[in-house]
Amino acid sequence: MAAQDWSGPGPDPAVPRSRRAVAVTAVVFAVCGLMISVSAVNARGTDLRPDRQTDLIGLITEQSARNDELRSRVAATRAEVDQLAARSGEDPARGERLAALELAAAMTPVEGPAVTVTLTDAPRELKPPGVSDDALVVHQQDIQAVANALWSGGAEAMTIQGVRVISTTGIKCVGNTVVLHGRPYAPPYVITAIGDPERLRAALADSDAIRIYRQYVDAYQLGYAERTDGQVRMPGHEGSADLAYARQPR
């Protein structure tokens, strides 16, 4: 039988097919192993594609539970301090000054006539064409606008979601919730202020920021409601009054 010439791009028949397959398989496994090792080193044991939203919600929930624990400890410590102060036989003038300071710092319950404003998101089924979802929900600046208007109207005390507002209270948007003193709250958002109802409602009507918000109410069905309350009782602030601020790393 005459010998045949080999030409073309195909495999060399001189090399057995089984040996070529074994060699290719070995190379593929080696490359895969290298990629897995590099990924493991870079990830350092973490998921390379974390669900950031889930992680954020879990962090908020964990911190909220921690804040609840600290709030309970602060309340217990304050009660102990009050008992010790009562036993110390301090002079009446000092006690009056202390009571006045606690009232000004929103640490004691108060009651009186009030105005309540409730803000709500637009209905979930509402999807106007060309309108961003951000225009259909209540934001921290909307809540802050109501709070600022009420303070300018002579509010003597205020709560948001039933939580007493103090000088260090911050209103922060996190996802679709608003965080107050480390605890997240979902809408509707209820802001209540004790004071002269006529002055409070006049201040709300004079606020440019609220006037703009109410344009969204008319256009996209966001919720805005006012009511006058004959008499409400607000709790004192029970958490920490410390001011949290950034520090330069050393």
pLDDT in tens for each of the 250 residues of the chain?
A: 444 444 444 455 544 545 555 555 655 555 555 555 555 544 444 443 344 455 666 666 776 777 777 677 767 766 666 666 665 555 666 666 666 666 666 678 899 999 999 999 999 888 888 888 888 999 999 999 999 999 999 999 999 999 898 877 888 888 778 888 788 888 999 999 999 999 999 999 999 999 999 999 999 999 999 999 989 999 887 766 666 666 777 7
Distance between CA atoms of 210 and 204, rounded to whole angstroms? 7
Can you name the residues that pair with 184 across neighbouring β-strands? 179
Residue with tokens 């602030």: 237
Looking at the structure, give the CATH architecture of the domain made up of residues 112-233: 2-Layer Sandwich (3.30)
**Structure tokens that stand for 177 in this block:** 């919730």
Q: What is the pLDDT of residues 50-69, one digit of tens each?
A: 444 556 666 667 767 777 77
Contact 60, 173 (CB under 8 A): no
C-alpha separations of 231 from 30, 103, 200, 235 in Å = 77, 18, 15, 14
Asked if 111 and 233 touch (Cβ cutoff 8 Å), the reply is yes
Q: What is the spatial distance between Cα 170 and Cα 244, in angstroms, rounded to a whole number?
A: 10
Return all residues near 181 (Cβ < 8 A) that are at least 6 apart. 67, 71, 163, 169, 239
On average, the pLDDT of the chain sits at 76
